[in-house]
Amino acid sequence: MCVRTWQTPFRVVSWRDNRVLAMTPDADPATGGKPRLFLSVRCVTAHSKRMKVVGIEGPGFMTESSTRLRDIALMIMMPLFFSSNLIIGRAAISEVEPWTLAFFRWFGAAVILLPFALGPLIRHRRTLMANWAPITLLAILGMWICGALVYLALRFTTATNATLIYTSSPAIILILEWLFRGRRIGLRHIFGVVIAFIGVAVIVLKGDLSRLAGLQFNPGDLIIAFCALSWALYSVVLKRPRLQSLPTMPLFTAIVIAGALTLAPFAAWESLALQTFPTSRSAWLSIAGLALVSSVFSFASYQYGVRRFGPSITGMLLYLLPAYGVGLAIIFLGEQFRGFHAAGLALILPGIILATAPSLAWRRGAKHMPAE
């Protein structure tokens, strides 16, 4: 990564987030004077003649089109990384106990992240220690409940059910922010939340209302619904101002380490009492996939997307999670996509979009609608 101050003037051609497409005076005449470098810059104004170059992308120079294609490909893969957790977890739970699986997942993620996060962790250690209570709470919500309990639920329910029920968490986040943070919600949001919850009910009841009268519920579906609530609480707690002041990398790494520590005693008990320490090659491959793909890759691609395209666009790409998760469950686990899955998805996805899509998107849509 190149870090230096370029003394010669640049001609700024276009801006995009924290990056600028610029051209040096010695640009290749063969390109017709077209800009040919992507530079990451700091403290630059549109009239600046001096730029601090903090990075030149790639091994060599990248064109605008190649960079855009790479970014699009990464954003398309991001929901796949997130969806992989339930698919790999469902496949691995027959060989690995749930708390053991969750522990090694987050312990492995911590080992991968530490070389990159050690410096920031040391620099922000006082702030992190001052916030040990919310960080521990986040670890319990995000890694203990949304880790071990999710894997426990997958012993009783399918990855398809889990994916579709889990998709309702944005609607729960909306309700929690309204209850505890005074977020204003309108009729569109309420309508979307109601539709999404009806979709969840369709899946839990398997499209049969008689199950409600007889209280015939799959325990795995109920645990996943509880985990969706836990993930919503995690998302709300994460927005606390004192935590928002911390950079993402050290905060996330601290939560991961705390999560591994909260899981460790239960994983040790499983291994000692049940004699079920993972030994097979397939079990460790599943653990590696969870640590690398479902944890680090998903986190890194989401943070890159927020920085590159903004939170609204990146967040809306997560609407692809149900399609990715169901598709992976059918392809790799041989699960069946039934009528009640289709009905639930047809309610949950539009409901979530109604409840959480930015208001600006709706205003733009209304602006471009043809007049009667």
Cα separation, 169 vs 204, whole angstroms: 15
Mean pLDDT (the chain, rounded): 78
The pLDDT score that the predictor gives to residue 146 is 93
Of the residues 39, 62, 85, the one at which a domain ends: 62
What residues pair up with 22 in beta bridges, in sequence order?
A: 12, 37
What percent of the chain has pLDDT above 70? Answer: 74
Clarify whether residues 15 and 120 are in a common domain. Answer: no
Average confidence (pLDDT) over 338-360: 81
Collapsing DSSP to helix, strand or coil, 4 comes out as strand
Collapsing DSSP to helix, strand or coil, 273 comes out as helix
The pLDDT score that the predictor gives to residue 323 is 85
Q: How far is CA 225 from CA 62, 97, 203, 229, in A?
A: 45, 21, 11, 6
Q: Is 329 part of any domain?
A: yes
Cα separation, 267 vs 227, whole angstroms: 19
Reported as a single tens digit per residue, the pLDDT across 44-60 is 444 444 444 433 333 34
CB 371 within 8 A of CB 187: no
The pLDDT score that the predictor gives to residue 369 is 36
Q: Which domain holds residue 44?
A: 4-62
Clarify whether residues 53 and 156 are in a common domain. Answer: no
C-beta atoms surrounding 106 within 10 Å: 29
Q: Is 369 part of any domain?
A: no
Average confidence (pLDDT) over 100-123: 95
Q: How far is CA 39 from CA 50, 73, 208, 298, in A?
A: 13, 21, 58, 25
> What is the chain's alpha carbon radius of gyration, rounded to the nearest angstrom?
23
DSSP 8-state assignment for residue 141: I
Clarify whether residues 167 and 109 are in a common domain. Answer: yes
Average confidence (pLDDT) over 203-220: 75
Cα separation, 68 vs 73, whole angstroms: 9
Clarify whether residues 112 and 156 are in a common domain. Answer: yes
Clarify whether residues 291 and 196 are in a common domain. Answer: yes
C-beta atoms surrounding 57 within 10 Å: 16
Clarify whether residues 235 and 346 are in a common domain. Answer: yes
Clarify whether residues 254 and 342 are in a common domain. Answer: yes
**Spacing of C-alpha 316 from chain mean position:** 11
Q: Is 351 part of any domain?
A: yes
Q: Is 149 part of any domain?
A: yes
Number of domains in the chain: 2
Cα separation, 67 vs 59, whole angstroms: 12
* Torsion angle in degrees (nearest 10) through CA of 125, 131, 133, 134: -120
Clarify whether residues 272 and 163 are in a common domain. Answer: yes
Clarify whether residues 192 and 269 are in a common domain. Answer: yes
Cα separation, 317 vs 168, whole angstroms: 15
Reported as a single tens digit per residue, the pLDDT across 169-188 is 888 888 888 888 778 888 88
Clarify whether residues 199 and 223 are in a common domain. Answer: yes
Q: Determine what percent of the chain falls in helix, strand and coil, rounding each to the nearest 5.
A: 70, 5, 25
- With CA atoms as reference, report the closest residue to 7 among 21, 24, 28, 20: 24
Selected residue with higher pLDDT from 345 and 134: 134
Tell me which H or E stretch contains 53: strand 51-56
CB 295 within 8 A of CB 143: no
Of the residues 62, 82, 109, the one at which a domain ends: 62
Reported confidence tier of residue 66, pLDDT bands at 50, 70, 90? low
Q: Is 363 part of any domain?
A: no
306 burial (CB, 10 Å; 0-12 / 13-18 / 19+) is middle
Q: Is 368 part of any domain?
A: no
Clarify whether residues 58 and 83 are in a common domain. Answer: no
Clarify whether residues 118 and 220 are in a common domain. Answer: yes
Q: Is 217 part of any domain?
A: yes
Q: Among the listed ranges 4-8, 28-32, 103-107, 278-282, which one has the minimum average pLDDT value?
A: 4-8
The pLDDT score that the predictor gives to residue 217 is 77
